[in-house]
Structures are given as structure tokens and as C-alpha cells.
Structure 1
Amino acid sequence: MNTPDQQELARLLPAPAEQDLPPGRHRHHKELLLRTIDNDRSRARRRLVRLPIVLPLAAAATATVVLVTVLPATHKDGSSVRIEAAAPGTAHGAAVLLDRLAGVALTATTGPVRDNQYIYVRSKATTTVHIKPVQVGGLKEREDWRPQDPRPTGDAGVYREDGRFVPIHSEPTPAGIDRPTYGWLASLPTDPDALYQRIRRETSPINGQDFDQTVFDSFGNLLGMTVMPPKTQAALYKAAAKIPGVVEMPDGADADGRHGVAIAREDHQLGERTEWIFDKATLTFLGRRAYRTTTSEWGKAGTLVWANAILERAVVDRPRQLP
């Protein structure tokens, strides 16, 4: 017989793959159990798609930790990646770093992107999660082609994994925060205060999760897996500095083992910290990762929950086309 926890988890998790659900749904549920997002579903289904699910967490100590290295691919036996403790970051450092990131974003030459084109993203992410405790397996590479047509459409593009192309189908969804096309991103306000309020309004809260963390995840989803206008990207960085609890960390590593500086936020309700990793020299976005900051039945403090690495982003004219 299933325990109450198992029944609740079964209610929250998406239907099996044979229901033709976008793989992004399953990858997303790893954002607190393997944290990532494809933003391929409608707002009505957003709690299962774009945002992390909430898992019951036992009361635990509040020791803060930071990952100093991530090498999940070396743990073929499924054992957890363990992290050493480090000093917490600072809010002032986050404001300075985000301002620098905004300056670099303004020098980009991206766009414009036509409505009939596709955003291509090649990435790696950790795989294999074992519930209670969370454990990380090896890395898997994936390529995504995401349509930029602003009209409501059920065509969410195509992805390739393990050499196989798979079409992604969804409910008809217009361009928006759940399907952030280049055109929609270009329509956002570039004033950081107005943009911050806009993202907060369009972010749906989740029971049991710190809402500011949910907003932080919304920003991370937009910054991490798409191509956007330089002015919009610069404004997003400056707006992210307004999220309470955001700090700068001097060192972090993405799923591919690349080290950099990080913008981070800890969700004390869930006992996890999420980081955005940037190259120290170029400030290029490298990837994201999440790890436990408290000890509970879901894992010890310092256990890696999920990590990814963005390897390539480009604009192409059709799905399956390589840059």
C-alpha cells in the first residue's frame, strides 16, 4: 500500500511518457527533484510544468552550504554528490554582479528572430533520481528546437536525445511566460522595476514553496533556455537583483564541470539552494544547479539535486537544422 507521501507525489507528478507528454515536463520535476523547465505548456497546467513541485520535507537543521564542484557523471552507482560547506554569499555582491551581467548583455548582437524561425539549444543535464533520498546519476545531452510563432499552437517543437528525434506536443499555447518567444520577450518592459513586477504577476505561486524562490526560478527559466533581445536580457538581470534573498557566490560549477561565479537563492521552506553559473572571464551563462541546504529524508545537507549546462544556443530556420 502506498504511503500518504507516495500518494501525494503520484498526484503531483505528470502522466507516464506514453501519454505523449513533452519530455520537458519530466525534466522539470527534477528541478526540485531534477530542476529544469521547457515552458511548453499552458498556464492552466503550469504547476506541473513550468514550476517545481513541492515535496513534504521533514524539519531539519539550517546549515548553509555551497557546491564547490559538480561531477555527477562520475557517480555511476547512483550515489549522491557530496558538497563541502562554505561561507554564504552577499546581497551586495549579487547587485554588483547582476549589473555587470546587464552591461555585457547590452553588447550582444542577437536578433531579431523571425516568427517562422526556431531557437536551438544544446544542453546537458543530470539524470536518475531516487526518491528518499534524492540521488544523481550521469549526464545526458539533449538538443531542442523551439518554434517562435506567437500564435496559439500545439506544436512545441522537437528535441533529440540518444540520437532520436521526438516531436513535442502541447495544448494550444500563445507566446507568453509559459512559451517565451523572442517576440514576446522583446515586448516586455525594459525598466527593471516594471519588469520585476511583470514577472511576479505572471508567476503562479505553489503551495509550500517560498514565492520569491518561484519568482527566482521564473527568471532563471527565461535566462537559461532561450535567446532574447539584449535590452530585455539586461533588464532581466537588473530586475533579478530586486528578488529578496538573492546573493552572489564566488564559485560554482555547472553539470559539465565548468567553474564560474554564481547568482544564488535559498528556499528555506524546501531546504534547497538554486544557482545560476556564469563564466568568470566572459560572464557567459553556463548553467544552473540545485542542492540541499538542510538534512531531511530527501537527502543530507550538501547533496546535489540537479545540474545542467548550456552548451550552445542559436537561431535556425527549421526544426532539426543545426547551426
Structure 2
Amino acid sequence: MIRKKSRREESLDHAELARLLPAPGDPHLSLDRHLLLEEHLMNEIQSTAPAPAPAPSRRPARRALLIGVPVTAAALAGAFAFTILTGSGGSGTTATTPPPVEAPVVRIAPGSNAQLASTVEHIAAAASASKTPEPGPGQYIYIKSKVSYLTVWDTDAYKSKSWVQPLHIREVWNSPDGKQGWLDEPGYQPKGGITLNSDVENHLGAPSYDYLKTLPTDPDALLKKIYKETKGQGNSPDQQAFTTVGDLLMEQVAPAKLNAALYQAAGKIPGVVVVDHAKDAAGREGIALARLDQQTGDRTEWIFDPKTYAYLGSRAVQVKQAYGVKPGTVTESTAVLERAVVDAQKQRPGAQGADA
């Protein structure tokens, strides 16, 4: 993500707020948490600025800011001031953000590796046999999803409750080379959408279709490359490898052989299990490949149709209490509703001409 520094006038003094708030404990945030804190605050500040906001990441952060984790007094005061001043959208925003809703809580289904190998092979076989659309020059990859992500909350105001965005539609258009794109996410982006144009070089964390075509389709070679290029990132090498595979597949299409290889590679990561019962953001029941992040206590689940093994969506469920989030809390939910190749930016499948 390209971050742009932004300042705005505030009616509350940070120093005064810091005096009013209880003293924070010693900071023990992981690098991931610090980056997510920074990314979320920058996104929110940019969304309230009167000038047009710069293009965001092509994929949303999986975990948004939790106010209540041990951060520095200045950062906490700034975040707290932000929630007071802007509420659920605030004046000066380019879009009226819907108020958050309390996060759903589900029964934590057990995970097992007893059927992992066979499940991965079923998923890989289905991916390999799928007729993946291949975008040509001038075309765009279109992904329509239903999503909900963890949002800002404050422990003093909400007393141990977690808050998420209401389920909403998110549509993304990306050119094969990743240099041009568009995002339409009503309520969370300015009306009509925003550009995703970028001149950043593609890599594992921000892949284009053209970049994906260069990756090895041998699962062992692919996994070795992922571990090598993500060394030192994330909460652990294994968790980062699992996260990276998910990032390579999110809001993107991949050649069928690579798609299969990615799932086979994921099955080789220690700690990956099968969860027999999971539900995506569209309410579809499925079977999941999942992995628990031991540091954050949440389990990321990739959900597949139990009969066809087609990818449905994803879910993040808190398994161990951490950062004030109770076990069973669903902090992220997505569902892919449509994947297609279209002839123009902002064009939807089946439409004639571009939808402005």
C-alpha cells in the first residue's frame, strides 16, 4: 500500500487526552499489529480528508485496528480522538460510512489434519480442472464479493465488544499487469468508486495476473519461494506462508495449474488443518482449510463447496482470547460472488459498454 502523510485540524489536544486516559502497559505489539495499526489509521484519516484520497491497497487488511491493545499513549490518544471526532463517518467525509455492528459469535468447530491430504487433493483437482478466464490486453479481471471486516472499537465505550462492518458489496477491476484498476465499495469509498492505478512493481504481497503466470507450478518449489521471499515477515514463517498463499488468491484469478499448486503448497505448511463446517459471508456452508495464528489467537479459514470443492470465501474466527476479542468472534467474513473477465474498467459481466 502507498501511504500518504495527511494532517487535519482537531478540536481536542492529544496531550490533554493522554492525561485523561489510563496509562498504557508496556507495548508488546507484533510487527503485524503495528503495521495494521498504521495502515488503518492512515486509511481512516485519508477517508476524512477533504482532498481526494490516494488509491488504497488492492486488498483490504485482514485485521483492522483494535483500540484497547497496548500501544503508546500518543497513538492511543490520537486514535481515541479520531473516534470521538468522526464517529461513524463524520463531517467532511466523501462517503457516509455505515455504523459498525457487533461481531457475530459462532461455535468454534474443531480442526483436524486426519483428512488434510485427501481434502487438499480434491481442492487441487477441482482447481486444475476449472476453466479459469484468461484476460487479454485491454481487458480487466472483475471480482465481486460480499465482505465484512473488523473495525474500530473502544474498550471504555463498548466494554469488551468487538465491532465489524455490516456485510456489504465490494467490486474490484484489475488489469492483467496490475497497473490499472478500480474499486467500488459503497459506504466505504467515495461515491462511484476510486482508482487503483499503481506503478508499484508486482510481488508476492501484491500480485498481478501477469506476475502469477511467472510463479512455479511445482508445489515444493512454489512453497520454497514463498518462505524465502517472506523471511522475517509476519508472526511466524509458517503463518506468513499461509497468509501469502491467501493473498495470492484474493481478488484475483490465477492460471489453473498455479491455482492447484497453491493449494497443494498450503497443505504442506505445518499447522494447516481441515474444518468440516464453516460458513462464508453469503451464508454458504462449506469445508475449510484453516490455520491458527498462535500469536493473535485467530484462525483463518478458506472455505470450499463440500461437493465441488470450488472456493467460496474466507472467514477469520477468534479461537483463543487475545487483544480483548472473545473466542468464537468472527472478525472477518468474505464471499466471492462472481469472477469474470470484462472488456473495460467499471464494466460488469453481461453489461454492454462500461458502467460509469
- Correspondence for 2:64: 33
Separation of aligned partners in 1, 2:114 and 2:233: 28
The AA in structure 2 aligned to 1:33 is: A
- Correspondence for 1:258: 284
The AA in structure 1 aligned to 2:298 is: E
Is structure 2 residue 249 aligned with structure 1 residue 227?
no
User: Percent identity of the aligned residues?
Assistant: 36
Separation of aligned partners in 2, 1:170 and 1:204: 28
Equivalent position to 2:230, from 185, 203, 206: 203
The AA in structure 1 aligned to 2:103 is: S
- Correspondence for 2:212: 185
The AA in structure 2 aligned to 1:194 is: A
Structure with the higher fraction of residues in strand conformation: 1
Query: Structure 1 residues 263, 197: closer, same or farther in 2, change over 3 A?
Result: same
> Rg bigger for which structure?
2
Deviations 1:67-100 (A, max 9, x none): xxxxxxxxx88223122243x3222322221111
Which structure has the higher relative contact order (CA within 8 Å, separation 6+)? Answer: 1
Q: Normalization by structure 2: what TM-score?
A: 0.70
Indicate the larger mover: 124-133 or 224-233: 124-133
Indicate the larger mover: 1-10 or 290-299: 1-10
Q: Is the 8 A contact 1:292 1:302 kept in 2?
A: yes
- Correspondence for 1:243: 269
- Correspondence for 1:270: 296
- Correspondence for 2:102: 79
Separation of aligned partners in 2, 1:183 and 1:141: 26
Q: Is the 8 A contact 1:101 1:234 kept in 2?
A: yes
Separation of aligned partners in 2, 1:14 and 1:77: 16
- Correspondence for 1:159: 183
Query: Structure 1 residues 267, 275: closer, same or farther in 2, change over 3 A?
Result: same
Deviations 1:196-218 (A, max 9, x none): 111222336446x2332121111
Q: Is the 8 A contact 2:130 2:256 kept in 1?
A: yes
Secondary structure of the residue aligned to 2:101 is coil
Please list, as runs of the form range in 1=range in 2, the aligned pairs for 1:2-81 lying within 5 A after superposition.
2=18, 4=24, 11=38, 13-15=40-42, 16=45, 17=47, 18=49, 20-24=53-57, 28-29=60-61, 31-33=62-64, 78-81=101-104
Separation of aligned partners in 1, 2:37 and 2:274: 36
Separation of aligned partners in 2, 1:274 and 1:259: 16
5+ residue gaps, structure 2, are 1-16, 72-98, 156-160, 350-356
Deviations 1:1-33 (A, max 9, x none): 3465699675453522246243447x733x123
Q: Is the 8 A contact 1:123 1:308 kept in 2?
A: yes
Secondary structure of the residue aligned to 2:271 is coil
Indicate the larger mover: 159-168 or 103-112: 159-168
Secondary structure of the residue aligned to 1:187 is coil
Q: Is the 8 A contact 2:150 2:165 kept in 1?
A: yes
Please list, as runs of the form range in 1=range in 2, the aligned pairs for 1:278-293 lying within 5 A after superposition.
278-293=304-319
- Correspondence for 1:312: 338
Deviations 1:261-302 (A, max 9, x none): 000000111111110000111111111111211224421111
Separation of aligned partners in 2, 1:195 and 1:206: 17
- Correspondence for 1:42: none
Alignment RMSD (CA, Å): 2.8
Is structure 2 residue 186 aligned with structure 1 residue 176?
no
Deviations 1:130-184 (A, max 9, x none): 434432242110111011126xx4x4x1111229332334652123323322222
Query: Structure 1 residues 21, 96: closer, same or farther in 2, change over 3 A?
Result: farther
Secondary structure of the residue aligned to 1:125 is strand
Separation of aligned partners in 2, 1:95 and 1:122: 30
5+ residue gaps, structure 1, are 35-54, 58-75
Secondary structure of the residue aligned to 1:275 is strand
Separation of aligned partners in 2, 1:175 and 1:24: 13
- Correspondence for 2:151: 129
Q: Is the 8 A contact 1:262 1:275 kept in 2?
A: yes
- Correspondence for 2:134: 112
Secondary structure of the residue aligned to 1:173 is coil
Query: Structure 1 residues 113, 90: closer, same or farther in 2, change over 3 A?
Result: same
- Correspondence for 1:141: 169
Secondary structure of the residue aligned to 1:106 is helix
